[in-house]
Chain A
Amino acid sequence: MSDRNQNERNNKVVVPIGPQHPSLKEPGSFKITLDGEKVERAVVEIGYNHRGIEKACESRNYIQALYIIERVCGICSHAHTLCFCQAFEELAGLEVPRRAHYIRGIVGELERLHSHLLWLGVAAHEIGFDTLFMYTWRDRELVLDLLARIGGNRVNYGVNTYGGVRRDLEPELMQDILHVCDLLEEKLKYYADLALTETTLIARLKGIGVLTPDDVRKYSAVGPVARAAGIEGDVRVAEPYGVFKEIAVNVITDDHCDVYGRTLVRVKEMLEAIRLIRIMVAQIPEGPISVRAPRKLPVGEVLSRVEAPRGEDIHYIRSTGTDMPDRVRVRAPTEANWHGMSHMLEGFQLADVPIIIAAIDPCYSCTDRAIHLIGDGINQLTDWAQIRALSIEQYKSRGIDPGSIKVREF
């Protein structure tokens, strides 16, 4: 008997979600078998963003490959280049200057802040809490502005290079980083308080998408998903690299094992990121920011890993002694967290599916190692004042005059 006939006979409905769907902004397909409103079975189909990034790296030299690796992901591009550079530096036997380690650390924690703020907004949107979505995405702009000042771009900052970093941090910029940390800390404490006390939010997130510590081991989940089940897996502590050999990280864990736990972990991790940035800015040493790197690597292979915002990121490089990698393999954290997705969905309500999927903070591009170039090369920058003017114009065209609304100054 076919699956369809079997389902009809058992009064089951299969709901196909995606690959294009309104819930998430990247393509993924989910075939959800329902018993009433309850998810009985979930089949996850991904791969829609595959662009052959690993093959592309194999036919280019290491310098070119780094630019491709930066574009594995728009959110955690720094984590990917850091992981790739570390692998290169290990094979080449390069000693990275201390100041470069600190700059990598500061940018990495800023990236964690903007990634988690983005996630918090998406999660709020999925449960209909759009006020929180707008607050967090507004706050995220502060971090993106800093990253744009550091690297000249909001998402692909191009900070990392083999043997160090390409951009130094001027004292004035570091003062501004501290100022933004102060502003964000105040807001994050409010969000943490909200997550702990807002009854609707708690009721909506608690007890869904459960992944127990045994499940985490079975499915090899990583990052906030694992830490929300009490598993202390954090590469910055398990295998300290760069600046984290000098500065200790407090690993944030939670024992809810559900979407609520993942929310608490990420909110607290942002406060921890601010603490780390303050220490790094205070202790950053003077000195060079890079050393000269060779064009060719000696024969060998290496596995490198870093703690990206979504969890453990692993890069493999095999060199045959030329200036091009023989094999590159990127295992992004989202790829690790897909394995337990069906298990997290099964047994819960159809209405919970979007937030359960969103709770692993999925990055389809990372998983599939995508590279996607858009636009015609014309740069366009819209500042806050222009955004405000455009919105006022749009509201006025609909007969609403928002002119009296005051914008809070940052």
Chain B
Amino acid sequence: MNTEETILALNKRFPALEATSARPLRIFTAFAAPEEFEKTLQYAFSKLDYHKGKHIVGTDEGENIGLSYILSNDENVLLVLRERVPKSAPHVRSMGELFPSLMLHEREMVDLFGVQVSGLPEGPNYPLPDGWPEGEYPLRKEWNPAYFNKQTMTYEPPKEEDAK
């Protein structure tokens, strides 16, 4: 299924996604509603034959964490499907059964953005080292590497009164 056919099919089935393509072999979509997101991934996998899970790009969206799942098919189209979860309680379900190649990237979302991924099989953390302080997620915008002490593995931002 080529770029145009994919956009037609996606927008017909999920109009809210507003799938668009600014250039050949690329399709970007809007953030899907949380209850719809899994359906869009399953639809892309089973109906549109997007069977390759390329990777997940996590983004800090202010109050939310964005997850962009990059999928591909045999015609080499890169399809970006997205969901957004609140930073205060970021939780998604693992898509590893559908796309085994995304599990490593889900682990990355856990470590770097603090997203809880239910259904992710037990396994080693990736990519942060053992002893990394709990509750510190380095790819969130508010996390400042200048306050991280590599020797003691502690994150010590200045207190508000110090900053003043």
Contact between B126 and A47 (Cβ–Cβ < 8 Å)?
Answer: yes
Contact between B127 and A50 (Cβ–Cβ < 8 Å)?
Answer: yes
- In-complex Cβ contact of B78 among A46, A303, A318, A339 (8 A): A303
Contact between A46 and B101 (Cβ–Cβ < 8 Å)?
Answer: no
Q: Which residue on B lies nearest to A343, using beta carbons? A: B100
| Tally of chain A residues near chain B (CB < 8 A) | 36
Q: CA–CA, A218 to B111, complex, Å?
A: 24
Q: Is B123 an interface residue (CB 8 A)?
A: yes
Instruction: List residues of chain B with CB within 8 A of the CB of A368.
Output: 127
> How many residue-residue contacts, CB under 8 A, span A and B?
80
Q: Mark A39-59, 1 if CB is under 8 A from B, else 0.
A: 000010111101010111001
- In-complex Cβ contact of A219 among B25, B101, B145 (8 A): B101
Contact between A327 and B59 (Cβ–Cβ < 8 Å)?
Answer: yes
Say yes or no: A314-B126 contact (C-beta < 8 A), given A303-B80, A335-B104: no
Q: CA–CA, A28 to B163, complex, Å?
A: 41
Contact between B23 and A336 (Cβ–Cβ < 8 Å)?
Answer: no
Interface of A is mostly: mixed
Interface of B is mostly: mixed
Q: CA–CA, A335 to B101, complex, Å?
A: 10
Chain B positions 92-147 with a Cβ under 8 Å from a chain A Cβ = 99-101, 103-104, 123-129, 138-139, 145
Say yes or no: A52-B145 contact (C-beta < 8 A), given A220-B101, A238-B76: yes
CB distance from A312 to the nearest CB of B (A): 8
- In-complex Cβ contact of A314 among B54, B58, B125, B145 (8 A): B54
Q: CA–CA, A45 to B111, complex, Å?
A: 14
Contact between A52 and B78 (Cβ–Cβ < 8 Å)?
Answer: no
CB distance from B143 to the nearest CB of A (A): 8
Q: CA–CA, A79 to B39, complex, Å?
A: 36
Instruction: List residues of chain A with CB within 8 A of the CB of B138.
Output: 52, 55
- In-complex Cβ contact of B100 among A326, A335, A339 (8 A): A339
Q: Is A316 an interface residue (CB 8 A)?
A: yes
Chain B positions 63-79 with a Cβ under 8 Å from a chain A Cβ = 68, 70, 72, 76, 78
Q: Which residue on A lies nearest to B57, using beta carbons? A: A329
Contact between B103 and A336 (Cβ–Cβ < 8 Å)?
Answer: no
Contact between B127 and A47 (Cβ–Cβ < 8 Å)?
Answer: yes
Residue from A52, A54, A329, A368 with most neighbouring chain B CB atoms (10 Å): A329
Chain A positions 301-356 with a Cβ under 8 Å from a chain B Cβ = 301, 303, 305, 314, 316, 318, 326-327, 329, 331, 335-336, 338-339
Instruction: List residues of chain A with CB within 8 A of the CB of B51.
Output: 217-218
Say yes or no: A339-B101 contact (C-beta < 8 A), given A47-B129, A314-B70: yes
- In-complex Cβ contact of A303 among B26, B101, B126 (8 A): B26
Instruction: List residues of chain A with CB within 8 A of the CB of B127.
Output: 46-47, 50, 368
A residues near B (Cβ < 8 Å) are: 29, 43, 45-48, 50, 52, 54-56, 59, 90, 217-220, 233, 235, 238-239, 301, 303, 305, 314, 316, 318, 326-327, 329, 331, 335-336, 338-339, 368
Given A218-B51, A235-B76, A331-B54; 13 other pairs, CB 8 A cutoff: A43-B124, A45-B126, A47-B128, A47-B129, A50-B129, A52-B145, A219-B100, A220-B52, A305-B78, A316-B57, A336-B101, A338-B104, A339-B100
25 A-B residue contacts at CB 8 Å? A43-B123, A43-B124, A47-B124, A48-B129, A50-B128, A55-B145, A217-B51, A220-B52, A220-B53, A220-B72, A220-B99, A220-B101, A238-B76, A239-B25, A303-B78, A314-B54, A314-B55, A316-B70, A327-B57, A329-B57, A329-B58, A331-B54, A331-B55, A331-B70, A339-B100
